[in-house]
Amino acid sequence: MILDGREEKNIRRAAETLAAGELIGLPTETVYGLGARADQDKAVARVFAAKGRPADHPLIVHVLGREDAERFAEGVTEVAQRLMDAFWPGPLTVILRRASGVAAAAAGGQSTIGLRSPSHPVARALLGAARELGVDGVAAPSANRFGHVSPTTAHHVAEELGDSLLILDGGECELGIESSIVDCSRADPALLRPGMLSRAQIESVAGLPLRQSDASAPRAPGTLDSHYAPRARVRLFSEKALLARWAEDLPSGLAVYARADLIGRADSLSPRLRRMPADVRETARELFAVLREFDAAGMQEIWVELPPPAPEWEAVRDRLLRAASAVSE
């Protein structure tokens, strides 16, 4: 059931549900999360079961701030400290060495732990109310079934995980793409997942370059991680490849999300067209909702124009490359 997250009594009810070891759906500024108290392995096991996610995939633990983070982590490096000071609360997850004996299930059994302090007011109100009930942190992966597109509205969460889940409605997520993840557990930090907090912003605060990781390396077709994927087959095109393909016969059940001006063919086979915004923040905000909408309309193929490899588009390109089964550049 979807409850208005602005109402105090709903926050309290969600906090009580968490404290009792049950799951809730919660809004954050990035995407909606599926939350369980991080300090109870039994509660965390419910998250893995609900998502259909392998139990060795670590979850991100959400905390109010630095003091709570220190209950879960040890050996907080100077770089991690600077990053938390600069970007918390906000769309940054830091990976630190896990304090011994805490949140083993949430960490997927790893010796490290991912921590994030969300800025969404409903998430913060919930974390505060839950802390009063003895809950120090909330383990929350994106509230989608494993491998699917992340939800950016409360309604998406209900679609993914069913109506019996208590979901706090905090409106549409402002950023629309998951947090940037920086591994600070080793000497030189690495960007494990790009997000709307850019590599350059993170590097300028860290004071050193981030190690490159697989997540941002170009992928060859066929070796793409199947993640963030709608049901329909996603194909990516450069503008040039798309315009060339556009002149040929088009498949039925086609939806297109592109920056190029494709009007003119819309009459013939009536593919569903949607213009990708020129602005990266607008694109990130709507991207997952657009993919979902195409799926809901029963589209079989989604063709997306891959934005150029400019630094500010790194996160959007990363999600598109993971959602795609083919790339034509």
The yes or no reply on residue 31 touching ligand TXA (CB under 6 A) is yes
Which one-letter amino acid corresponds to residue 297? Answer: A
The residue count for binding Mg ion (CB under 5 A) is 1
The yes or no reply on residue 152 touching Mg ion (CB under 5 A) is no
For 113, the enclosing helix (H) or strand (E) is strand 112-116
Q: Which does 58 bind (CB under 5 to 8 A by kind): ligand TXA, Mg ion, none?
A: ligand TXA
Q: Which does 95 bind (CB under 5 to 8 A by kind): Mg ion, ligand TXA, none?
A: ligand TXA
The yes or no reply on residue 142 touching Mg ion (CB under 5 A) is yes
- Structure letter (DSSP) for residue 135: -
Q: How far is the CB of 262 from ligand TXA (least distance, A)?
A: 32
Q: How far is the CB of 132 from ligand TXA (least distance, A)?
A: 21
The residue count for binding ligand TXA (CB under 6 A) is 23
Stretch touching ligand TXA by CB under 6 A, among 176-184, 231-239, 242-250, 292-300: 176-184
Q: How many helices (H) and strands (E) does the chain have?
A: 11, 16
Question: What are the tokens at 45?
Answer: 């096991």
Question: What are the tokens at 317?
Answer: 């390109």
Question: What are the tokens at 30?
Answer: 């990035």
Tell which one of 14, 43, 126, 140 touches ligand TXA (CB under 6 A).
140
Q: How far is the CB of 230 from ligand TXA (least distance, A)?
A: 16
Q: How far is the CB of 234 from Mg ion (least distance, A)?
A: 17
The yes or no reply on residue 295 touching ligand TXA (CB under 6 A) is no
Residues whose CB is less than 8 angstroms from the CB of residue 154 and which lie 6 or more positions away in sequence, other chains included? 2, 25, 27, 32, 167, 168, 169, 170
Question: What are the tokens at 76?
Answer: 């907080």
**Residue 256 and residue 293 in contact, taking contact as beta carbons nearer than 8 Å:** no
Peptide bond into 309 cis (omega under 30): no
Stretch touching ligand TXA by CB under 6 A, among 6-14, 51-59, 80-88, 124-132: 51-59
314, HSE (Cβ side, Cα atoms, 13 Å): 21
Q: Which does 107 bind (CB under 5 to 8 A by kind): Mg ion, ligand TXA, none?
A: ligand TXA
**Residue 233 and residue 325 in contact, taking contact as beta carbons nearer than 8 Å:** yes
Residue 28: how many CB atoms within 10 A of its CB?
28
Q: Which of 305, 197, 328 is nearest to 258 (CA)?
A: 305
Between residues 129 and 315, which has the closer beta carbon with respect to Mg ion? 315
Tell which one of 102, 154, 168, 181 touches ligand TXA (CB under 6 A).
181
The yes or no reply on residue 110 touching ligand TXA (CB under 6 A) is yes
The yes or no reply on residue 180 touching Mg ion (CB under 5 A) is no
Which one-letter amino acid corresponds to residue 185? Answer: S
Binding interface with Mg ion (CB under 5 A): 142
Binding interface with ligand TXA (CB under 6 A): 28, 30-31, 33, 57-60, 93, 95, 107, 110, 112-114, 116, 140-142, 178-179, 181, 192
